Amino acid sequence: MKIEDFVDQKPGFILEEFFSGSLRGWGVTLGRLGGLQNRFTIQAEGRWDARAHTLALKETYTFDDGHIDTLAWTIIKRGDGVYEGRETLIEGLAHGEQAGNAFHWRYHRNVPSTDGTKSKCGFDDWFFLHDDGNHMSAHASLTKLGIEFATLNGFYERVV
């Protein structure tokens, strides 16, 4: 897939609009061979600062085994459809592109495990806005050493 494939798809996904305010979500992580690794819920809160072109986004993932992973993003809109992000467990920057109803986001993160250890994982995320603009689906490919070991499928809903 390429971001250009989505230029004409509606509704238009404007990252800073969708993630401003309160959101909730649900999802699953599937292993490379298809087995269910875990289920999770998401609580998120975002605030867009138009003057600074910056989105502050806090996402809290609660997994079915009880462990919690909180991401505190600072996402900067660099231009039309171009974003970069920072988060404490990310190496370097996250890079994002938006077109039509899609957003593509890539980064490497040291992901905390249930036992407190961390594993460096690559993320190749695709987000797709649906219907009235209050629902979004996400698909992520997780890699280690460049090899996909799992996929994540999530669904977000704006809490209006």
Dist. CA 56–CA 39, nearest whole Å? 25
The DSSP secondary structure of 135-150, one letter per residue, reads EEEEEEEEEETTEEEE
Residue 132 pLDDT: 82
CATH architecture of 9-30+37-159: Beta Barrel (2.40)
Domain ranges (residues) in the chain: 9-30+37-159
**How many residues can be counted in the chain?**
160
Q: Which positions ≥6 away from 137 have C-beta within 8 Å?
A: 127, 128, 130, 153, 154, 155, 156
pTM value is 0.93
Residue 114 pLDDT: 83
Residue 24 pLDDT: 98
Dist. CA 133–CA 119, nearest whole Å? 34
Residue 115 pLDDT: 85
Residues of the chain with pLDDT under 50: none
Residue 133 pLDDT: 85
Dist. CA 1–CA 132, nearest whole Å? 24
